[in-house]
């Protein structure tokens, strides 16, 4: 297997006195599609933030070989700037060095890829939740990242919007490394090649997706998959 893009060894993260990650150890390689699952507070979001360099670790070793400019992270509630839909994408491209006119053209193309080109002139903050997630994906897509990090990207959406955004994620992840947190086990089966199960900040299972759903698991992970652990 190729050299790891991200490598964590015995990583601990605390928020005050509350442990968020405890001795977390895993590696992520190019082209993998890794799903992070577990109950609320299990450490999924914190792990994504460690990968993206947003949260420092108290102890352990972290090596990331992907520069931040080659990563894009989508949050459960994406931040929309108080400007047009097009300019929310164009500004990101401009900050990455694209001339403004070129950034506008590329932004329009990216909006077309996610099906919201008709909303290009709207204030981004007036969009629905599903439309904002599409915009966030367009913004990430336009930057051509090597790694996509997604934190519960469909959690607050209605069923139709969930399916639409999931399809866009699958398309955006083609040829890239994808790491995403999700409570939707069907989505995990459809999108992931590997599943990492976290419990109270600890990595308790790290398996290929078929082995995770069809093979033996630690008791906590087995109960979670059956819906008996919340």
Q: What does the domain layout of the chain look like in residue ranges?
A: 4-225
Tokens, residue 217 = 């698991």
Could you tell me if 39 and 85 are in contact, meaning their C-beta atoms sit under 8 angstroms apart?
Answer: no
Strand partners, 196: 36, 206
Q: What percent of the chain has pLDDT over 90?
A: 79
Region 108-112 average pLDDT: 95
Say if residue 2's pLDDT is above 80. Answer: no
CATH 3.40.50.300 fits 4-225, yes or no: yes
Could you tell me if 151 and 74 are in contact, meaning their C-beta atoms sit under 8 angstroms apart?
Answer: yes
Q: Is the pTM of this model over 0.85?
A: yes
The whole-angstrom separation of Cα 206 and Cα 191 is: 16
Cβ-defined contacts of 192-196 (< 8 Å, 24+): 192/33, 192/34, 192/35, 193/32, 193/33, 193/34, 194/32, 194/33, 194/34, 194/35, 195/34, 195/35, 195/37, 196/26, 196/34, 196/35, 196/36, 196/37
Average pLDDT, the chain: 93
Q: Report pLDDT digits (tens) over 128-150.
A: 988 998 999 999 989 999 999 99
Model pLDDT, residue 158: 84
């Amino acid at each position: 297997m190729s050299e790891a893009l991200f490598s964590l060894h015995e990583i601990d993260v605390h928020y005050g006195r509350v442990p968020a990650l405890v001795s977390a150890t895993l590696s992520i390689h190019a082209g993998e599609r890794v799903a992070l699952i577990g109950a609320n507070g299990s450490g999924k979001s914190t792990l994504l933030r460690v990968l993206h360099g947003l949260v420092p670790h108290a102890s352990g070793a972290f090596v990331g070989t992907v520069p931040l400019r080659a990563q894009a992270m989508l949050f459960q509630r994406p931040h929309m700037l108080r400007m047009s839909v097009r300019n929310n994408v164009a500004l990101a491209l401009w900050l990455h060095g694209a001339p403004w006119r070129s950034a506008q053209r590329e932004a329009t193309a990216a909006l077309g890829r996610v099906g919201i080109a008709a909303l290009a002139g709207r204030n981004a903050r007036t969009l629905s939740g599903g439309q904002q997630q599409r915009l966030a994906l367009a913004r990430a897509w336009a930057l051509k990242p090597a790694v996509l990090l997604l934190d519960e990207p469909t959690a607050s959406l209605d069923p139709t919007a969930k399916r639409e955004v999931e399809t866009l994620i699958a398309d955006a992840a083609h040829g890239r490394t994808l790491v995403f947190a999700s409570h939707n086990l069907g989505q995990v089966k459809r999108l992931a090649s590997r599943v990492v199960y976290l419990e109270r900040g600890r990595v308790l299972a790290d398996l290929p997706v078929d082995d995770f759903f069809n093979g033996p698991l630690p008791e906590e992970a087995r109960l979670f998959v059956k819906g008996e652990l919340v």
